[in-house]
Structures are given as structure tokens and as C-alpha cells.
A and B are shown apart, each in its own frame.
Chain A
Amino acid sequence: MRRTWIGTRTVRVALVVVVVAAILAACTSTPPTSETTSGAPAIKRGGVYRVGVSTFGNTDGLDPTGEYGIPGWGVLDALQRTLVTFRFAPGTAGTELVPDLATEIPQPTDGGLTYTFQLKPGVKFGAPLDRPITSADVAYAFERIDSRPLVAQYGFYFFGVIQGMTGSAPKPGPISGIETPNPSTIVFHLTHPTGDFLYRLTLPATAPIPAEVAKCFPSAGGYGRDLVASGPYQILGSQAVDPSSCSTIKPMSGFDPVRSLTLVRNPSYDPATDTDSGRAAYVDAIEITVDTSIADIFEKVQTGALDASWYDLPPATVLQHYLSDPTLASRVNAFPNGNVQFISMNLTHPPFDDVHVRRAVSYIIDKAALQKSWSGPISGDIATHIAPPFIYHGQLPNTDPYATPGNSGSLEKAMAEMKLSKYDPQQDGMCDVAACKNLVLVNQNIAPWTTMEPFVVQDLAKIGIDVKPRELETGAAYNTVQRVANDIPISMNANWAYDYADAYTYLLPMFDSSSIAASGNPNTSLTGLTASMAAKLGIPYPAGGVPSVDSSIAECETKTGDARATCWVGVDQHLMEDVVPIVPYLWSNVIVITGDSVTNFEADPISQGTTFTQVAVSNNLPAPG
């Protein structure tokens, strides 16, 4: 899970763009050449797309091998191409996997253990190399992932999956499970059939990396300032880098990790090699400026000094300003980002070791009030299960095992469930025992989490659960909850999203016992914990045990297509109805405010906020450099 102050990932799927209808119609059908066949006005190319952001939030300095931050993935999406990618298109069209560097999407052979890709001819790296991309460059990206010093932050998608990849190599070197028989062929040998392996090849770390430059950066993060592009844009100043030796390579001038990033067109990029992905690359340049004042960013968007915000959530006051004015309302772009916000309960900690208590909590929470604390329906849909519906391709419609009138919670249902609990000896629908008093509730110390807190505290008190909120800085809140020894009974700081459009990226890290770790533990409910694991982690193990979904997840992991989605639906429902480790309350949206200079806007298929390759502006500004 990537963490930022607003959440994690976005999705190409279900991009709900609320730009003016004419523009929307144009953007859904416009080919990269900007010509339209529908009769809608052609989208003008050129200009500079200027955005402000409170922080880059990079986790590895934009080095694709380790970068796991939301903004970083958005930028890498414009800079890089991968073997396969999700189509750059809004709506369901964006769920389609298409070849990118590869000539076609291969069918696995050898019982699902081997994938062979042919690379398109004529695809080249940008400055300063301007040379053809070969299979060795793709293989080198995996060698970097496998190198321990480079800290591939989501290498777990490949360790133990591709033969020979363990993440423990001292430096990039050959991997037994990856062959490059010739410059245009790469073969992956897996250890076991992995139904979503092709999805994993859309991740930015798998994009080709030239060894002659990247070898000069043997530790994590360094390569980000000299990233050699393969996509339609490159970092400003790429041409000035001298790659003749490591000592002559200086940081590209267009990237200051704390102030700004400027992307310009990559002259080595040939659109003729990129006919499947739908990349449009309308603008000549993208300027991203860090402005720590979020209010200032939105002020600048309003005055025209910036073209748009990026992934900072607009405050409710800003939304009020835009939505109350019919001439401005169309500039508010809200779209799902695949992020589920939830309250997590520790299955080993009384009273949450009793499923009836967990169900009672699920019934009592006023999700409508929480949604309003996030600025109301525009902030996202109320969550009724774990992964958002689009992940299941429509196989889990309107399922809510804890439905209440108006999503406002039901005291009656909650008390009825509580009466079934061992923690309600008086059978009055209230938790009567000491285990329900003075429970630490970890929360973030920023809005909207602080705004939600009194509602959660009040709701829990209605069924006799007395919590003591701890409002912590975002990072501290995560660290506290994710350190198992802290034995936090309940938390409301966390959220989760996907790395690619598959429920695996929610359900395995959140609920599989294999993801439980002493610190940095994403499975905060400790679903699947065993007695021996509890002993090692130094926490008490409940007499009634802890439910597990490990076998269900393992079964689904091997499936593909609709059968896979159906399988995941079953796991989600089982978790919600029988395990109840979390109370999901919101599938949150990303909200971007655009200025009147923006003539086309799309949500990003990979990162959170903006598809830089699909935006268009009318400002006619010249590209820098």
C-alpha cells in the first residue's frame, strides 16, 4: 500500500470525469492525433499544463524501481512504457489490458508458467541515449527489482513468482527465470501459475531501464533524477546529461525533488509504435510546482496562474465556492480512485475478538455522517464491502450485509448483535465488561479524519464501547497501528487501494496471514494470525482463535478471467459477513479542480489525480527549454 495524506492509488477503471459534456464526449473518442470522428471539436495540441501540489510525496525519489508514491506513479506514467498496459481511456474501456512495448499480449504456456514477449521495433529511449530499447533493458529493470540495495518497494509481486527472484541479490545481475534470447524477445518463467501476472507487468518498476545510466546509481532513489524516458515525455534537461561515464552524469535540470518537475516532449518517442495504448500527449510540457499551501494552490487555479490542482483534496470551502456557482461547477472533476477507507478492528484484542461485537460495530457506524465529513457524496460512494465494485466487473452489485436506513447506522440492529456477544452478560445490547472501556482508537490528526472522529466515538459509545482517541501525525498513526506489538484494538486512520485492477492487491495484503509483519504490518486486523505467530510477535492469542482466509486467497490467485473475479467476490463476502475485520465506510474519490484553460481532462489510469498524457490546455504557452 502506498501511503500519502489522502490515500493510495487510483485506477484507470471507472473514471468519472465531470468536465463539460462536450469535452467529455470528445475525450472518450479522441485518438492521439486529436482528430475526431464523432463531430466533436478536435482537441487542440500544444501549451503547457501547469499544476500545483503540496508535496511530491515520492517514496524513492522517482526511481521507478522503488517509487511507490501516488504522484510518482502518475509522473512515471508519462515518462515510461511497459510491456503491457491498461488502455488510456475512461470508463470500462480503461480496464482493457493492451500491448505497449510488446507486439501482442502473449498466452501463457507450460501450464501457465511461461510468458514470452516480442518487443515492437523502433521503440527508443529518450535523451541522452536515443537508442533502441531491447529485451535486455526490460530484464535489467527486473534485475534492479531483485537487488536488495535498490529497495524495490513492491518487489513482493515478483519475489517467489518469477524463478530466481528473491529480492536478496547484492546488485543487479542475471535472473534464472528471465531469458533474453535476442534483443526483441524476453521470456519469463514463473514458479507457479499466477493469474494476474500480466497485470503485474503494468507496474512502473517493470519499464525498461538502460543499464549504462542506471548502473551509476547503486543505491535506492538516485536514478530518479536521471531517469531516461521511454514514454512520450522526458524530464527537462535530459539532453544536457553526458552519459559517457558515471562521473559525468549530473542531475537533470528539470527535476528538483522538493520544488518542481518539468516534463517536455520526448523527441525519440514515435507515436507510430504506440497505437494500442491510447496515449494522446496533447500538451507540449507539464510543469509541476510544489506549494505547501493548499489554499494557495486552489487560489492560483482560480486566478489562472495554474491550470489545475493535482491530488490535493480541495477543502470543503473551495468545493462550496465552485459547486454553488453554475459557471464553475463543471471545473470540479471527481472520480473514483479505488481507495477504500475503513475502520480496522484487531481480531486478537477484546472485545473485537468476538465476531458479534464486530458486527455490532458494523451496524452502528453512521457512514452517512462520515461521508459528509469528507465533503459529502462528491467525495465518494459509501462503501458496503471491501474492494470497490468495478474491481469485480459488476459481479458484486449493491451488496451490503450491514444495510441501515440512510446508511446512518442502526442502534436496534447493533444492540441485537451485541446481545449475542459474550461481552454483553447483562443482555442489554451494550458491552458491559471492562474490556470495552478505555480502548485506544488511533486516528490521523488532520481533516477529514478529525472531523469523523466524534461521530465514531459517539456511535461506539451507543453500544457500550468506550474509546480513547489518539490523534497522530499521518506517518506516526500508520507506524503505531502497523507495529503489531502495540496491540492497538481499533483504528480509523487507514485506507487501501490497488496497484492494478485486481482484488488480489486488496485482499492479500489486507487479510492474508503472510502479510503480517512485526512492523509495517498492512494486515492491521491480524486476520489469519496463528498462535505461533502471536507468540513470536509477543501478543496474546484469543482462546477462540482467529479466522483465516488464506486458503480462499490462495485458491483465487491461481484463477483467471471471470472465474477469478467470482472467486474474489466470494472472499470479499466471506470477510464482510463471517470475519468482519474492518468496517469499510467510503470508496473515496479524487477531486481535481481545473481552470478554464483546460480543454480536456482525464483521470489517471495508474496514479491518483491526472492522466498527464491525456490533458489538453488552451493557454498556448511555449514549452520551456
Chain B
Amino acid sequence: MTVRAQAEAPPLPETLVGRTYWRIFWRRFMRDRVAVGGLIVIVTFVAMAILAPLVAKVVGHSPNQLFESMRTELGLPLGPRAHFWFGADQAGRDLFVRVVYGARTSLTVSVVGTGIATVIGVIVGATAGFYGRWLDTLISRVIDVWLSLPLLLFAIGLSTVCSASPNGCLNGLLQPGLSLVIGIIALFTWPYIARIARGQVISLRQREFVEAARAMGVSDMRIVLSELLPNLVGPIVVYATLTLPGNILFEASLSFLGVGVPQSTPSWGRMMADATEGSLFTYAWWMMVFPGLFLLLMTFAFYLVGEGFREALDPRGGVS
């Protein structure tokens, strides 16, 4: 019986492998085929964005090149055909090349905007959580007020005001266009990240390793940077990844409403807005379908990856 039991026990590995936190995370993530699929799509979009000039060169059309031959006598755009795979827009520009370039805009705006928001959010949230007391109260109330603002309306107002002045806003710091949209996204995203950072720091600051560091006379700054920040990375990365698609859509929404990027900067939202001018999409379906499809794919991919990150970092997610 004993012999049999020994024979049925699982074989022990020859050597025990020590895995880091991030390695465990990565193994878990790679098991999630849906999330990996999303990652592949994102990588493809990133490659598309980087290689956009090359695509334009191969096709032979730049994103702002105007082709009168691609407009009818009434000024209506012509649809997909050889050399214009996605057809043309209302100004006779190659929609395929513009859609490829649109990936640049979406990725730039969302990644940079989210990045700025993350930095601000972590600094503010960690400060509130670490020092507590009146500073925590003050920052928390500011965040509450900030989050109560009607985001889209405020963004439209800000964008309009900055566009109405020839010099933009803040002495020219915020110029209408890409920088303004990035600024707006950062402005309205940081409070969410700050709340998460604050909560994490509050739970971490009483832990033994922090107490030990304090007992050793380590400075506050070093405690935050060396002890707390590494522990914040996981949840912040997850949240930022899940925020990205929202910000992609936010840029598209602003551009759709005519307060986003200028039309010389290809943007999927702007392209869809152009399609709605005079119900143009009822004739030029391609102006709505192609940018809409790419927008859907990119946001969906980011959501999948974000969800994959979240599950891979979840301590209840099972042993690898």
C-alpha cells in the first residue's frame, strides 16, 4: 500500500525554481489567450503607427495630399478602389493612409495623456496617503470636487476657450490641437489614479518593512521611492491600461465634437465626425466604417489586455 502510494505521488521537480513577482505575473498573463490576442493587436497598431510614413510611401499618398479626381462634380468623395483601398474623404484625401496615421494620434494622445495623469496621480495620491492628516483631507476633497465636474462639458468648454484665443491657453502652453487634447485628458484622469495610489499607500505605510525603514532613519522620500512605489506599480499599471481605451475614445469624442485635433492631424474620431457632416455617411459609408472599425479594434484590444493584467496581478488568481 505504501509502495503503491509512493508510486502515485506526483514526482518532485528536480530543482525548485525561484520566480520573481513579475515573472509570475508574466506567466499568468501569457496563459490568458484572449489577453495575449489583444496584446498582439496592440503591437500591430503600434507598428502601424510607427511605420505610417512607410505605408504612405508605399501607397504613394501622404495623409494630407488632396486628390481632386477623388471628388465628384458636387464635391462628394469617391469610394474604395484600386490605389484608394478605403476610398477618399470629403477633401479627396486617401482614407486608408489617414486611418493608418490615425493610429498615431490615438496612441500618442492616450499614452502620453495617461502617462502624465499617472505621474501626477501617483505623486498626489502617495503624498496624501503617506502623510495623512490635514493634507490627506485637503487632497481628498480636491479630488472629490474634481471628480464631480462634468467631464465632457468641461473639456469642451476648455477646448473651445483655448481655441478661441489665437495664442491658446496658459500663455501659449496649451495650443489647440494635440497638446490641448493631451492636457485635457491628463487633467481629468489623474484624480482616479491618485485615489488608487492613496489607498495603496495607506495600507502599506503601516507594514513592517516601512516601520523598519523608519526605525533605521530612512528619509520619507526614500521610503516612498524605494519601499512604497515598487508596491504601487502593479495596481497602477492595471488601472492605467484600463484607462487607455477610455482616453482613446475621449480623444475621438472631442475630435468628433469638433474640439479635438485639427483636420491636418488624422484622427479616427475626426474622420467619423466628417462623415456625419450633412449625413455624408449615407453616401460615403467608408468614411464611417473604416475609422470606426479601427477605433473599435484598438479600444477592445486595450480592454482585453487591461483585464489580462488585472487577472494576472490578482493574488487570488491561483498558483502558477
Determine if B263 and A317 form an interchain contact, defined as CB atoms under 8 angstroms apart: no
Taking the complex as formed, is A375 at the interface, i.e. its CB lies under 8 A from any CB of chain B?
A: yes
- Say whether A372 faces chain B, with CB atoms less than 8 Å apart: yes
Chain B residue, CB-CB nearest to A486: B166
Interface residues on A, range: 35 or more
Beta-carbon contact of B277 and A446 below 8 Å: yes
Q: Select which of A454, A468, A480 is within 8 A of B164 by beta carbon.
A: A480
Chain A facing B: main interface SS: helix
Give the CA-CA distance A318 to B282 in the complex, in Å: 10
How far, in angstroms, from A470 to B176 measured CA to CA in the complex? 7
A316 touches B74 (CB 8 A): yes
Residue B91 at the chain A interface, CB threshold 8 Å: yes
Kindly provide the distance from the CB of A489 to the nearest chain B CB, expressed in whole angstroms: 9
Task: Judge whether B68 is part of the interface by a CB distance below 8 angstroms.
Answer: yes
B204 within 8 A of A: no
Neighbour of B264 across the interface among A369, A373, A457, A473, CB < 8 A: A457
List 9 A–B pairs whose Cβ atoms lie within 8 Å, in order of A's numbering. A316-B283, A317-B76, A317-B283, A319-B74, A323-B74, A445-B258, A450-B277, A480-B164, A487-B166
B274 at the interface (CB under 8 A from A): yes
Q: Given A451-B75, A454-B264, A470-B176, A476–B280 Cβ distance below 8 Å?
A: no
Q: A316-B283, A372-B75 are in contact. List 13 more A-B contacts (CB 8 A).
A: A315-B278, A317-B280, A369-B68, A373-B75, A447-B278, A450-B274, A451-B75, A454-B264, A472-B160, A473-B160, A476-B163, A480-B165, A480-B166
Q: Are A440 and B278 in contact (CB under 8 A)?
A: no
Contact B74 A451 (CB under 8 A): no
- Contact of B66 with A by CB under 8 A: yes
- Contact between A375 and B163 (Cβ–Cβ < 8 Å)? no
Q: Is B14 an interface residue (CB 8 A)?
A: no
In the complex, what residue of chain A is closest to B91 when comparing beta carbons?
A454
Q: Which residues of B contact A453 (CB under 8 A)?
A: 263
- Minimum C-beta distance from A443 to chain B (A): 10
CB-CB < 8 A to B163: which residues of A?
Answer: 470-472, 476
Interface centre among A316, A318, A486, A488 (most CB of B within 10 A): A316
Residue of A nearest to B68 (CB): A369
Q: How far is the CB of A144 from chain B (nearest CB, A)?
A: 34
Shortest distance between the CB of A79 and any CB in chain B (Å): 32
Known pairs A316-B76, A374-B75, A454-B66; A476 contacts B277 (CB<8 A) = no
How many residues in B have their beta carbons less than 8 Å from beta carbons of A? 29
Q: Which of A319, A378, A454 contacts B93 (CB 8 A)?
A: A454
CB distance from A41 to the nearest CB of B (A): 33
Residues of B within 8 A of A319 (CB): 74
What residue in chain B is nearest A445 (Cβ atoms)? Answer: B258
Chain B residues, CB < 8 A from A442: 166
Q: Which residues of chain A are near B110, meaning CB under 8 Å?
A: none
Which of B90, B93, B166, B278 sits near A294, CB closer than 8 Å? B278
Interface pair B160/A476, CB less than 8 Å apart: yes
Known A294-B278, A317-B283, A450-B277: A440·B166 in contact at CB below 8 Å = yes
Given known A317-B280, A372-B68, A458-B66, contact A471–B263 (CB-CB < 8 A)? yes
- The CA of A372 and the CA of B262, in the complex, are separated in Å by 21
Q: Check B74 against A471 for contact (C-beta < 8 Å).
A: no
Q: How far in angstroms is the closest Cβ of chain A from B63?
A: 10
- What is the CA–CA distance of A468 and B264 in the complex, to the nearest angstrom? 9
A315 touches B279 (CB 8 A): yes
Q: Quote the shortest CB–CB distance from A461 to chain B (angstroms).
A: 10
Query: Which of A376, A471, A480, A488 is close to B262, meaning CB atoms less than 8 Å apart?
Result: A471
**Cβ-defined contact, A469 with B264, below 8 A:** yes
A372 to B77, CA, bound (A): 11
In contact, B264 and A372 (Cβ under 8 angstroms): no
Among B71-99, those with CB < 8 Å from A are: 71-76, 90-91, 93
With contacts A316-B280, A471-B262 taken as known, whether A451 is within 8 angstroms of B76 at the C-beta atoms is no
CB distance from B67 to the nearest CB of A (A): 11
Q: What is the distance, in angstroms, from A82's C-beta to the closest C-beta of chain B?
A: 37
The answer on a CB contact under 8 Å between B280 and A315 is yes
Q: How far is B74's CA from A323's CA once the two chains are assembled, in angstroms?
A: 10
- B residues within 8 A CB of A487? 166
Give the chain B neighbours of A480 by CB distance below 8 A: 164-166
Name A316's contact: one of B66, B176, B278 (CB within 8 Å).
Answer: B278
Contact A372 B66 (CB under 8 A): no
Question: Which residue from chain A places its CB closest to the CB of B177 in the assembled complex?
Answer: A468
Docked CA distance A454–B263 (Å): 8
CB-CB contacts of A436-448 with B at 8 A, as 1s and 0s? Answer: 0000101001111
Residue B64 CB within 8 A of the other chain:
yes
Contacts of B71 in A (CB 8 A): 372
Query: Which residues of the other chain, B, contact A448 by a CB distance below 8 angstroms?
Result: 75
- Using Cβ atoms and an 8 Å threshold, which residues of chain B touch A378? 74
Convert B163-197 into 0s and 1s, putting 1 for each residue whose CB lies closer than 8 angstroms to a CB of A: 11110000000001000000000000000000000
CB distance from A545 to the nearest CB of B (A): 24
Bound together, the chains give a CA A487 to CA B64 distance in angstroms of 28
* Partner among A317, A446, A451, A470 whose Cβ is within 8 Å of the Cβ of B91: A451
Is B258 a contact partner of A316 (Cβ separation < 8 A)?
no
Distance, CA A373 to CA B274, complexed state (A): 13
A376, B164: Cβ atoms closer than 8 Å? no
- Interface pairs A-B: 5 shortest CB-CB: A315-B278, A447-B277, A372-B75, A445-B258, A317-B283
